[in-house]
Structure 1
Amino acid sequence: MDKRPGILESRKKIRFQDCDPFNHLNNGRYLDYFINAREDQLLEYYDIDIFRIVREQGLGWVVSSSQVAYLKPVFTMEEVVIETQLVRYSDKHLLVEARMWDSDKKVLKSVAWLNFVHFNIRTNKVERHSGEFLELFREVVIPVKSTTFEERHRSFRPQKTASTD
């Protein structure tokens, strides 16, 4: 069996209704694009239909916290590439990194860390991941060296030298 990819990628077009009066993607909408892309990618790459799992098992993942760095503006009707990857997991939690690039993947527009908790909507309680999910997580996780979002965010910024400060 082929190894499943750890970095998932999709393309999205930025829509007018998601932008502010300056034609920039509204800050609050970045999370929508990241989460929607991740949902689509899980289905496409891993055949995981999170909505079917919720309907049939009452299990899902909810965002427990998020952090977003806005590096470059994203404009109305711009096509972007959204990459996501699992960078950390535990028996009840996931940390997913999402990156938004220009269409050529040369300019990083935004980076986010999304913390998810595995939740049972029938019992209204946090629940442990199944062995099947933990096996998938072990296979696809790609840890990052940074231990905080601020460190990771800084790692994407150009390094300043003494002469450019």
Structure 2
Amino acid sequence: MKDQESAGELVKVPESKLFVRFQDCDPLGHLNNVRYFDYFLNAREEHTYKYYNLNLMELARQHRANWLVTNHHIAYLRPANLGAIIHIQTRIIHFDNTTIVIEGMMLNKDKTKLKSLLWTTMRYVSLETGRPTDHPDDIMNMLELLDVDEVMYDPDGFQTRIKQVTKELKSLED
């Protein structure tokens, strides 16, 4: 990982600022539902490289394993309109020996309104067997450093999390 630890605090919640492009929108000028996944996943890839100096394909080659998406849980709360500036934040909210859960938040330009919330669950899978495998020690150590303890993950708590984030953002407006 980059020298965030020595230069200061490790960035557990990295962020990207994006522009909603015409090619990604539906006829109403809203970001197409399928494109939300691209925006979130591309932002997370950028975050792992920019903030942690991790190339996920190199890491997969090194350990002969990689994360595969097992499910997404997404809420479309407000449209991301053509030409809008949005912010995407990502964070690890849960991990165990074989699984990670990444949370993605899409916010408006001022970061006061939640547009979308995504939970992506990924299983760590051996490239040789195609079966789940345990994270190696170096990855477990990295996940421990990056896990956001403030988010109390509950697999059935997605709607509760939406209410929590919305309430937190509303309190920032007051």
Structure 2, unmatched stretches of 5+, are 1-5, 168-174
Aligned to 2:138: 132
Offset of 1:51 from its aligned partner? 2.0
Could you say what secondary structure the match of 1:88 adopts? strand
CA distance in 1, matches of 2:86, 2:130: 36
- In the alignment, which of 22, 26, 29 is matched to residue 28 of structure 2? 22
Q: How does 1:83-102 map to 2 (within 5 A)?
A: 83-102=89-108
Aligned to 2:160: 151
- In the alignment, which of 50, 56, 60 is matched to residue 54 of structure 1? 60
- The structure in which a higher percent of residues are strand is 1
Offset of 1:8 from its aligned partner? 1.0
Aligned to 1:112: 118
Counterpart residue type for residue 98 of structure 2? K
TM-score normalised by length of structure 2: 0.84
Counting matched residue pairs gives: 159
CA distance in 2, matches of 1:87, 1:104: 24
Is 1:74 paired with 2:83?
Answer: no
Percent identity, aligned pairs only? 29
- In the alignment, which of 7, 10, 18 is matched to residue 4 of structure 1? 10
TM-score normalised by length of structure 1: 0.88
